[in-house]
Amino acid sequence: MAKITAADVSKLRKATGAGMMDCKKALVQAEGDFDSAIKILREKGQKIADKRADRDSAEGAVIALVNDSKNRGIIVSLNCETDFVGKNDSFISLARELAQVAMDASSKEELLAADFNGMTVQEKLVEQTGVIGEKIEIGDFKVLEAPFVGSYIHNNKIGALTGLSAAVDGAETLAKDISMQVASMGATTLSYKDFDPAFVEEETKSRIAAIEKDNIELGRLGKTQKNVPQFISRAQLSDAIITKAQEDLKAELKAEGKPEQIWDKILPGKLERFISDNTTLDQEKALLDQNFIKDEKKKVADYVKSIGNVEVVGFERASIGG
């Protein structure tokens, strides 16, 4: 029977991250052969992985990285079953190591097949499933390339990347601020101009129906009812509609007895409110049309323009639990 030393156990533990007793048992079973012991631990991991394949891996850690040239970024989420494991320092460290490997991958499949210290990433995940005792898998994998890329991570739970058209002065701050916006507000497209007309039409119907249903209950309770918008996107507000809105607002001011000489001071604010009330979809889903989280008096697009001759050309977002 091979003699198993503490140094042997320590070496195997360092290589695999498995517990001391698991490492000792594997070495004993392998009669002291290091490579066979690693194989035994991987087989254990595969058995656990098979048993837990149907488990929900909705916790974990998200890592966002940008290369030294600042023209390529990745987001990787390493998923597990419990928040306890997801917050563990060794788990987060593993997520960071995998993110470094992901910098050279172009797809999730390529990442899983990539080398990780002599094994594939997929094999490493199986191994760690055995070590941790939970289902461990790559959740999201996003890549963004642009003339300048910046990133932001929130509590290792949400990661975002922003691509800019040029590496101008202030690009680092701009890209981080916009990435923070993406992480916080969850936009799905750059501008309202990107919406499909059929999608806007369907959303309009469903949102108006939902508000009208709420108003029935609010009316029953004697509470103030919600405003029912005519539209939900700037894409619907043609020049003719804006002109009509201005005329309607003037009629309101006249009916209220407001002197005509002060209308010019009142109308811009009322028109801005009309547009705000009728562009809720843009504010939720279109990045450049959202209120900037650091200064809600301006839109994201206005903030970008204030930096100089640069545009946001793309963004990506990943999070734990959706």
DSSP secondary structure string for all residues of 309-322: S--EEEEEEEETT-
Please state, in angstroms and rounded to a whole number, the distance separating the CA atoms of residues 22 and 12.
10
59-185 CATH fold: Tetrahydropterin Synthase; Chain A (3.30.479)
pLDDT for the residue numbered 50: 60
- Residue holding tokens 């999730």? 108
Taking only the tens of pLDDT, the chain with its 322 residues reads: 567 777 877 777 777 766 677 777 777 777 777 777 777 777 776 666 566 666 778 899 999 999 999 999 999 999 999 999 999 998 999 999 999 999 999 999 999 999 998 889 998 898 888 888 888 899 999 999 999 999 999 999 999 999 999 999 999 999 999 999 999 998 999 999 999 999 999 999 999 999 999 999 999 899 999 888 889 999 999 999 999 999 999 999 999 999 999 999 999 999 999 999 999 999 999 999 999 999 988 999 999 999 999 999 999 999 997 6
Nearest to 45 by CA among 24, 16, 20: 16
pLDDT for the residue numbered 159: 96
Q: Which residues in 83-114 are b (16+ Cβ under 10 Å) and which e? A: eebbbeeebbebbebbbebbbebeebeebbeb
- Please provide the CATH number assigned to the domain covering 6-51: 1.10.8.10
Please state, in angstroms and rounded to a whole number, the distance separating the CA atoms of residues 30 and 22.
12
Helix %, strand %, coil % of the chain (to 5): 55, 20, 30
Amino acid at 276: S
Backbone angles phi, psi at 211, to 5 degrees: -65, -40
Backbone angles phi, psi at 311, to 5 degrees: -130, 155
Nearest to 321 by CA among 157, 134, 164: 157
pLDDT for the residue numbered 48: 64
pLDDT for the residue numbered 19: 66
Distance of CA 147 to the CA centre of its chain: 21
pLDDT for the residue numbered 45: 64
DSSP state of 72: E
Whether 6-51 and 59-185 share one fold: the answer is: no
Q: Where are the domains of the chain?
A: 6-51, 59-185, 192-296
pLDDT for the residue numbered 183: 95
Nearest to 159 by CA among 90, 83, 96, 93: 96
- Give the largest Cα separation in the chain, rounded: 102
pLDDT for the residue numbered 46: 63
